[in-house]
Amino acid sequence: MSFVVRHVVPWIKVALAQILGLACLFLARDYLAGNALASLLLVGVAASLAGRILGLSIYWIPLQLLLPFALVYSDVIPAWAYLTGFVLCALVFWNSATGQVPLYLTNTSTWAAIKALASQSGARTFIDLGSGSGGGVVFLAKANPELDVTGVETAPLVYLLSRLRVAILARKNAKIRYKSIWQEDLGRYDLVYCFLSPVPMSEMYRKARKEMRPGALFVSNSFAVPEHEPDRIVDVSDARKTRLLIWKM
Ligand SMILES: C[S@@+](CC[C@H](N)C(=O)[O-])C[C@H]1O[C@@H](n2cnc3c(N)ncnc32)[C@H](O)[C@@H]1O
């Protein structure tokens, strides 16, 4: 996917969606009788729906809802507040807009199931592709000192905090690197774990098949690979009914 398609097209869709939201406001103007709050809400909700129809992921909805308020009340809210909010969001949700992989975290029950899987399979090397706040790297490194645990992450603030977390814990068998999941050679890992989104799964599976050693395990939390059934599924007994989809290379 080219840079333009990934980075520019979503914003064009946001602009189109907001214009459609404004069109809804125009059609409903007689019913709203000048109610500013209801009008802005209508634009935001209509733009959110239009965005979804145009193919934007659900992660754009908060922006679509806030945008009309931010534009109208721009003189009340100081500019630095927008800038700070924007910069912080960008540093955390760095990969949401471009790679369509947002930040949400694997829970402890699931990490425990992954630890069991690593022990059963005799894995000596593990990677969390997109390691988020580093919770999994820390959990596994503590739980199994023999396991060499790596995380790669490119959301800057999330990366820095996870590096700090690992440094405080000072585990020799844990490391987090600032590196794209697409740049990492998967050939040195016995167990590769990812919790991404449906979007990159086909490409990541192709990469895993190409690079991973025979017998190594590729594990996806929740997200399937189209046309490739997993060899095994582990159902985690947690509230969200997590499923670990496992392929043996
Ligand atoms: C759903 S979160 C999972 C976090 C962690 N693995 C967990 O399970 O708790 C996905 C993470 O992948 C990161 N990510 C997405 N695309 C990436 C890329 N191309 N390179 C590195 N990290 C990426 C995101 O920033 C996010 O932190």
What would the pLDDT profile of 36-59 be if each residue is shown by its tens digit? 889 999 999 999 999 999 988 777
**Predicted TM-score of the model (pTM):** 0.73
CA contacts within 13 A on the Cβ side of 68: 23
Mutation probe of ligand 1 site: the residue of 3, 91, 95 with most atoms within 8 A of C-beta? 95
**How much distance in Å is there from the Cα of 59 to the middle of ligand 1?**
15
Q: Are 130 and 124 in contact (CB under 8 A)?
A: no
- Whether the predicted pLDDT of 229 surpasses 80: yes
**How much distance in Å is there from the Cα of 91 to the middle of ligand 1?**
13
- Exposed, middle or buried: residue 26 (CB in 10 Å: 0-12, 13-18, 19+)? exposed
**How much distance in Å is there from the Cα of 159 to the middle of ligand 1?**
10
Q: Is 200 in the pocket of ligand 1 (CB under 6 A)?
A: no
- Whether the predicted pLDDT of 14 surpasses 60: yes
Nearest Cα residue to atom 12 of ligand 1: 130
Q: Between the CA of residue 91 and those of 80, 99, 132, 139, 151, what are the distances in Å?
A: 16, 14, 12, 24, 18
What is the distance between the alpha carbons of residues 195 and 76, in angstroms, rounded to a whole number? 40
What is the distance between the alpha carbons of residues 97 and 236, in angstroms, rounded to a whole number? 29
- Whether the predicted pLDDT of 215 surpasses 60: yes
- Whether the predicted pLDDT of 98 surpasses 90: no
**How much distance in Å is there from the Cα of 23 to the middle of ligand 1?**
37
Q: Is 184 in the pocket of ligand 1 (CB under 6 A)?
A: no
Q: Is 110 in the pocket of ligand 1 (CB under 6 A)?
A: no
Q: What is the pLDDT of residues 160-177, one digit of tens each?
A: 999 999 998 878 899 999
- Please provide the CATH number assigned to the domain covering 108-248: 3.40.50.150
Q: Are 248 and 217 in contact (CB under 8 A)?
A: yes
**How much distance in Å is there from the Cα of 94 to the middle of ligand 1?**
9
Q: Is 126 in the pocket of ligand 1 (CB under 6 A)?
A: no
Instruction: Find the length of the chain.
Output: 249
- In the chain, CATH 3.40.50.150 sits at 108-248
Report the nearest atom of ligand 1 relative to the CA of 104.
1
**How much distance in Å is there from the Cα of 218 to the middle of ligand 1?**
16
pLDDT value, residue 214: 97
Report the nearest atom of ligand 1 relative to the CA of 151.
6
Report the nearest atom of ligand 1 relative to the CA of 93.
25
If pLDDT is split at 50, 70 and 90, which confidence band does 113 have?
very high
pLDDT value, residue 231: 97
Nearest-Å Rg of the Cα atoms of the chain is 21
If pLDDT is split at 50, 70 and 90, which confidence band does 2 have?
low
